[in-house]
Amino acid sequence: MRIWDYSGAMDFRKPVQAVIPGAQGQILAVLSQTSAELNLRTIARLSDVSVAQASRVMPGLVELGLVERREAPPSALFKFVPNHVAARAVAMLADTRTTVLEELNMTAGRLGVAPVSVIVYGSFARGEADRSSDIDIVLIRPPRVDEDDPEWRAAIGEWVEGVRRLTGNRVELLEVASEEASAKLRSKKQLWSDIRREGIVVHGRTVEDLQDRRSA
């Protein structure tokens, strides 16, 4: 087992607010997740800001074209404009977790020595990762590839650094030989129970397949 340890600070529970701080980020996070028209009080309540704060932010968003305003006496209704170029960036921010999972799959597939499987678990897999969270990854090493193989070590070191730069968070990599994967994943230890229950396979063989002794 090898653990790579890096530091970082992306909040995947509130990615929009992490990049756009304050009331504006809180409001954009809410608006980007709905196609409905909302009045000012509803926006304030859902964004956890005061009505006064919302009333100061909304005119600027309307002026930028990120939000449309429609008069509906006795109030006005606001709606996010998803086709706006800046709105697309906000929507991507809101869905950073999915983007990261897709990127992990793509980059793992490009490695010169491809891993048998890449499994994300822990708070990131549960959708609970914040600034203090690690990106916990199980990597199954291919058969007949030694743990200290120079080509493998260089490839995985570069890949892990790419994950760190992609997310900004610390990466903890649990590396297991393919010959040991079945026994590990069938273990009753809490770590492996958690991996079986919450793990997201982003590349390669499924957890169920890896548990099968005949596929080892």
pLDDT in the model for residue 2: 52
SS3 of residue 119 by DSSP: strand
Tens of each residue's pLDDT in the chain, 216 residues: 454 444 456 789 899 998 899 999 999 999 999 999 999 999 999 999 999 999 999 999 999 999 999 999 988 999 999 999 999 999 988 999 999 999 999 999 998 888 999 999 999 999 999 888 899 999 999 998 999 999 999 999 999 999 988 888 889 999 999 999 999 999 999 999 999 999 999 999 999 998 875 554
Q: How many CB atoms are located within 10 Å of the residue 134 CB?
A: 20
User: Mind listing the domains of the chain with CATH numbers?
Assistant: 15-92 (1.10.10.10), 96-215 (3.30.460.10)
- Give the pLDDT confidence score for residue 63 in this predicted structure: 95
- Do the beta carbons of residue 39 and residue 46 sit within 8 Å? no
Q: How far apart are CA 129 and CA 133, in angstroms?
A: 5
pLDDT of residue 213: 59
Report pLDDT for 3: 47
The predicted structure's pLDDT at residue 9: 64
Tell me which residue of 156, 170, 136, 172 sits closest to 6, measured CA to CA.
Answer: 170
- Residue 6's pLDDT is 45
**pTM summary value:** 0.79
Cα 153 from Cα 204, distance rounded (Å): 19
Strand, coil or helix: what is 85?
helix
